[in-house]
Amino acid sequence: MQITRLIAVACAALFMGVSAQAQERGGTLKVALNPEPPSAVAGISGTGAAQILYSKIYEGLFSYDFDLTPRGVLAESWEMSDDGLRFTVKLKDNVRWHDGEAFDSDDVVTSYNVFAKESPNLAALAPKIASVTANGPYEVVFDLNTPVPALVYGLALGWLAIIPDHIYGGDAPYRDNPANDTPVGTGPFKLVEWEKGNFIKLVRNDDYHVEGQPYIDDLYFVIIPDSQGRAVAYEQGSIDVVSASILELYDVERLAALDDSQSTSQGWELFSPHAFVWVNNEKPPFDDRNFRQALNYAMDKEFIRDVVFSGMARPTHGAVGSRTRFFDPETEGYAFDRDKARELVEVSSYDGREITLMPASFLGSSWGRLAEYQVQALKDVGINASLDSMDVGTFLKKLSERDYDLAQMYLYQWGDPGIGVSRSFVSATAKPGSPWNNVAMYQDAETDALLAAADAETDPDKRAGLYSQAQHRIAGDAPVIWIAELDFPTIYKARVHDLITDAAGLSSNFAGVWIEK
């Protein structure tokens, strides 16, 4: 049997980035959070802010080192069969839920059954999984319909958070469960207070399954609705941690340079956020490849990097990000070419009609500035474009219903194209209902075949070749407008240690974070 196995206990010192200083117990950590999530229950909301919150309460089977090597969290060890059709996970046997109940394999099976229906991410992967069964109290078996060599990334917290069978098992509801007001996880922190619009307070889980952790007593998520307010709060010491993703980008360098500040760009390796514009391929003139290519050539990605995102981005080269496995740097990147864009508009089926761009302004003022630039860039190549602004709820509803022309977005890549990229470009996900997967309604039989073969190929070299072909095919079809790979530094007070220790950054569990007194 070909074994891919890591023993979490034996590797803990290597993977946890243990500080040269002795960890100190106690203290309070305050983290800026925006937007305020609707719930602390894992998976209720798909926003990044929601995962930052619930990742402290709930856990997954795995986390991932900066180089994307999997680590066990609730998993003790794991192995894939030689034929790639059975993935077996042995679970930790010393874990308890926050309400004192013991964690076991039934919890994993229930979690899969819930999120295969409730999570658009896992739902896209579920057809490849034949069954998930408990083999005794501490072993779970994933039997597959086809090899899924990237499965370990598809079982990340954001896809398969582990929730308790004794609350959500059987016919119990998930989204409307009465227990959702008091979330029960296995994580290092428990929710004790939520003052809407102000703060969310978590406290240490004294029965956490990693001995001695967590170190901090209290964890506050502070809700500050405007970016300037967040910058002032950090500067005055009212908060200890803030992500550049929720700051005005011109404040980032200034705050990071303060005497009591540290900053790091690590912690995005798993997500590799990819900014683009959804293009509704089903509607004329967006069903014309010439027109879609023109949209891409019209965008000056270096201007976007330098001016819109203040250097905290890099130009893209197609569907796969440079931090994601199997990236092919030779993929067409659509370097800015206004004349080429105009030529393609002229030979396309575009008839001068007005097209609208939905800006994701709720993500921050940079996105509003980006939208204004994009509309002007389209006008500069002969396209009659305008903005169609709206609140986040209406924005996501329109995407779900495919009721749009163009719409800004960024998505996570989740470490492997078989998990985070294919879902946006295969015909099987080209259907209304999700604001995340293949909102472009892109359908191409050759792309489907290439991605299906690559997603199932167990030989890494052959996978790389297939993904290379797929990247070139998708780039040629230009089903979306690629904009930028985003880099969001995390800024934090110097007295905070071991904050960013894995590829999920602020969405890790903070069990090892400690505060120097």
pLDDT, tens digit, 9 for 90 and up, residues 250-277:
899 999 999 999 999 999 999 999 999 9
Q: Where in the chain is the domain with CATH 3.90.76.10?
A: 8-18+36-181
Amino acid at 322: S
CA-to-CA distance for 431 and 480, rounded, in angstroms? 16
| Portion of the chain with pLDDT greater than 70, in percent | 96
Task: For the chain, give the mean pLDDT.
Answer: 94
CA-to-CA distance for 78 and 60, rounded, in angstroms? 14
Query: Using an 8 Å Cβ cutoff, are 29 and 515 in contact?
Result: yes
First-to-final CA distance of the chain: 50
Which 3 state secondary structure label does DSSP give 344? helix
* pLDDT reading at 289 higher than 90: yes
* pLDDT reading at 2 higher than 90: no
Helices (H), 55-201: 105-118, 120-125, 151-154, 165-168
Query: Using an 8 Å Cβ cutoff, are 139 and 91 in contact?
Result: yes
* pLDDT reading at 8 higher than 50: no
Quote the pLDDT of residue 121. 87
169 or 15, which is more confident:
169
* pLDDT reading at 4 higher than 90: no
Q: Which CATH fold would you assign to the domain 274-486?
A: Dipeptide-binding Protein; domain 3 (3.10.105)
CA-to-CA distance for 39 and 57, rounded, in angstroms? 12
- Reported as a single tens digit per residue, the pLDDT across 23-42 is 999 999 999 999 899 999 99
* pLDDT reading at 16 higher than 50: no
CA-to-CA distance for 485 and 296, rounded, in angstroms? 15
Query: Using an 8 Å Cβ cutoff, are 287 and 348 in contact?
Result: no
Query: Using an 8 Å Cβ cutoff, are 277 and 439 in contact?
Result: no
CA-to-CA distance for 293 and 481, rounded, in angstroms? 8
Which 3 state secondary structure label does DSSP give 387? strand
| Mean pLDDT in residue range 386-410 | 96
Residues 6+ apart with CB under 8 A from 55: 157, 187, 504, 507, 508, 509
Rg of the chain (C-alpha set) = 23
* pLDDT reading at 6 higher than 60: no
Quote the pLDDT of residue 7. 38
CA-to-CA distance for 417 and 422, rounded, in angstroms? 6
- Reported as a single tens digit per residue, the pLDDT across 199-209 is 999 999 999 99
| Mean pLDDT in residue range 438-448 | 98
21 or 50, which is more confident:
50
Residues 6+ apart with CB under 8 A from 380: 298, 338
* pLDDT reading at 11 higher than 50: no
| Mean pLDDT in residue range 115-139 | 95
* pLDDT reading at 18 higher than 60: no
For residue 233, the Cα-to-chain-centroid distance in whole angstroms is 26
Name the residue among 295, 514, 504, 288 with its Cα closest to residue 413.
Answer: 504
CA-to-CA distance for 40 and 49, rounded, in angstroms? 10
Name the residue among 314, 426, 300 with its Cα closest to residue 374.
Answer: 300
- Reported as a single tens digit per residue, the pLDDT across 356-394 is 999 998 888 889 999 999 999 999 999 999 999 999 889
Q: Is the pTM of the predicted complex or chain greater than 0.85?
A: yes
Q: Which CATH fold would you assign to the domain 8-18+36-181?
A: Dipeptide-binding Protein; domain 1 (3.90.76)
Query: Using an 8 Å Cβ cutoff, are 93 and 107 in contact?
Result: no
Q: Where in the chain is the domain with CATH 3.10.105.10?
A: 274-486
